[in-house]
């Protein structure tokens, strides 16, 4: 199996889709209640679903980019506000944190080889 799709709830579709297009994602589905985006590297997609109910989303979506600091600088110049500047984390990833207009938490990061092969990797298949 391969994970290729995640759907985030949003409160205002037009505002949310504009946010993700400004981040650099290609929108490939556009309806009043659902939108899908394609990531520029790797072919993964993610989508947004309009929620008319109040929600709190505890999920964090991660987007990996090799030139993280340059990406964050570009996004900040375009008006994006970050909760955390790029920072080296104890688990060997470099991360920056921001939220979309609906409050969904986004981590932009670079982990390189450590994403799949950290020094503490285990291989269990029970």
| Mean pLDDT per 10-residue interval, the chain, length 126 residues | 90 97 96 96 92 90 97 98 98 98 97 95 91
Strands (E), the chain: 7-10, 26-30, 34-38, 45-50, 60-64, 84-88, 94-99, 105-110
39, 45 Cβ separation under 8 angstroms = yes
pTM: 0.93
The structural architecture, per CATH, of the domain 7-112 is Roll (3.10)
Q: How far apart are CA 25 and CA 71, in angstroms?
A: 13
> Residue 14's pLDDT is what?
97
> Residue 32's pLDDT is what?
95
């Amino acid at each position: 199996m391969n994970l290729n799709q995640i759907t985030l709830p949003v409160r205002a579709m037009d505002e949310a889709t504009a946010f993700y297009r400004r981040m650099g994602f290609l929108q490939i589905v556009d309806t009043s209640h659902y939108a899908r985006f394609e990531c520029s590297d790797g072919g993964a997609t993610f989508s947004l679903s309009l929620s008319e109910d109040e929600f709190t989303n505890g999920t964090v979506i991660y987007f990996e980019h090799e030139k993280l600091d340059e990406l964050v600088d570009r996004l900040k110049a375009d008006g994006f506000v970050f909760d955390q500047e790029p920072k080296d984390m104890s688990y060997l990833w470099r991360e920056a944190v921001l939220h979309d207009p609906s409050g969904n938490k986004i981590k932009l990061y670079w982990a390189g080889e450590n994403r799949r092969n950290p020094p503490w990797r285990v291989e269990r298949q029970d």
